[in-house]
Amino acid sequence: MKRIAIDMDEVIADTLATHVEWYNRDYKDELCIGELEGRSLLEARPEAQVAIESYYEREDFFRNIKVMEHSQEVLRELSEHYEIFITTAAMEVPASFHAKYEWLLEHFDFLDEMNFVFCGDKSIIRADYMVDDNIRQLRAFKGKGVLFSAPRNVYETEFVRVNNWLEAKEWFMAELEEARQ
C-alpha cells in the first residue's frame, strides 16, 4: 500500500476555528474566519499577540480542538487502501504533545498509534503523499504534496488542492484507479 502522511492542525484538527472561538470568547473580540484569508490570526490581530499565543501553552486548548469535518469517516475508508500516518510538527508547540496524543487516541482510534509521528522539520518524512495546509512543509517533502485548504493558503497555486475531506477522498480514490491502469 502507498503511504499518506497527514498533518494534524488545519487538516484533521480544526485548530484555527477553535482558536478564533476561544480568543473571541475570552477577549471579547468578534474576529471572523473570513477575515483571515491569506494571513494568520496573528497577522490579523498583531496587537493581541500575547492573548493569541497564550493558547499554545494550554493543554486544555489542544485537547478540545474540533475534529475537521468528514476527516474521521474518510480516513477510515482511505486506511483500507493506503497506509495512513499522522505527521504533526508538534515540536513547534511542545506543550501540545500529550494533549495531541490523547486527542488522536480519542478521535482516530482506528489508526495504529505507532503511525503517529510527532516531529519538527517534515522533510525527514518518507511517504508517497503528504496532505498539509503548510506550503513550506509540502515544498520540503520528496513525494507528492496535496495542499489542504485553509484560510491562510487560499492564494497558493503551487500544489494540487483539496478543499475538504470529501474532495480528498475523491482525489485519493482516483489516484488508486490510475495506479491500477
Note the residues at the interface with Mg ion (CB under 5 A): 7, 9-10, 133
- Residue 5: helix, strand or coil by DSSP? strand
Task: Specify the residue, 31 or 86, whose C-beta has the smaller distance to Mg ion.
Answer: 86
Task: Kindly state the helix (H) or strand (E) to which residue 6 belongs, with its residue range.
Answer: strand 2-6
7 is catalytic: yes
Task: Specify the residue, 9 or 14, whose C-beta has the smaller distance to Mg ion.
Answer: 9
Question: How far apart are CB 84 and Mg ion at their closest, in Å?
Answer: 16
Give the residue closest to Mg ion by C-beta: 9
9 is catalytic: yes
Q: Do 29 and 111 form a contact (C-beta atoms < 8 A)?
A: no
Cβ-count burial of 130 within 10 angstroms (0-12 exposed, 13-18 middle, 19+ buried)?
buried
Cell of residue 132, nine digits? 498539509
Task: Specify the residue, 81 or 167, whose C-beta has the smaller distance to Mg ion.
Answer: 167
68: DSSP letter? P
Question: How far apart are CB 43 and Mg ion at their closest, in Å?
Answer: 16
Q: Which residues are catalytic?
A: 7, 9
